[in-house]
Amino acid sequence: MRDLTITTIIKECSEDELSPADRLLVEKAKDATRTSYSPYSRFHVGAAILMDDGTICTGSNQENAAYPSGLCAERTAAFHASATHPGIAMKKIAIAAWTAAGKPEGLPYKDYFQKMPISPCGGCRQALLEYEARDGDIEVILYGADKIYIFPSIASLLPFCFTSF
């Protein structure tokens, strides 16, 4: 019996180190947080997906009184992208979030982005993985006000993933 090691090399950077195209994608993810419907968690998440034809599809978390019926920002964006751009590969996804909890009324949401990046939940990783397995790597840009992490693919966020049966 022997040990195997799984290694993921990710990039850490600040916003001003991003390329202009990546900065734009992050801006779109931040903008998308404004469309979040999150009266229960008050956690506003936005995702922006760069498509292979250059368009950007966004999504935000949509909650529901029947909690499990809601959907995360990442899957909202991915399903939006797939439904409106069938056959076009997703190349990158950027994710940003802020919380209204503790945010004084009237202060701009832009000052309330999470300092550390938030990372997609397991269900969103699995859903995104299916598009990646079909169309090629989707880079993941996790925005935090203090630092940004960049993963080379969805699979790198989901080792030993299930893709087919």
Binding site for ligand THU (CB under 6 A): 38, 41, 43, 45, 61, 63, 70, 72-74, 118, 120-121
Looking at the Cβ atoms of 40 and 53, the one nearer to ligand THU is: 40
Cβ proximity to ligand THU: between 22 and 74 the closer is 74
CA trace torsion 71, 120, 99, 23 (10° rounding): -110
Nearer to ligand THU by C-beta: 2 or 75?
Answer: 75
74 counts as catalytic: yes
Closest distance to ligand THU from the beta carbon of 4 (Å): 28
Find the shortest distance in angstroms from Cβ 87 to ligand THU: 26
Please answer whether residues 89 and 51 qualify as being in contact, where contact means their C-beta atoms are separated by less than 8 angstroms: yes
CB of 121 to ligand THU, least distance (A): 5
Please name which of 54, 67, 62 lies closest in space to residue 33, comparing C-alpha atoms.
Answer: 62
Catalytic residue among 74, 105, 130, 132: 74
- Rounded distance, CA 100 to CA 39, Å? 10
Coil/strand/helix, residue 130: helix
Rounded distance between C-alpha atoms, residue 73 and residue 94, angstroms: 10
> SS3 of 156, please?
helix
Q: Which residues are catalytic?
A: 74
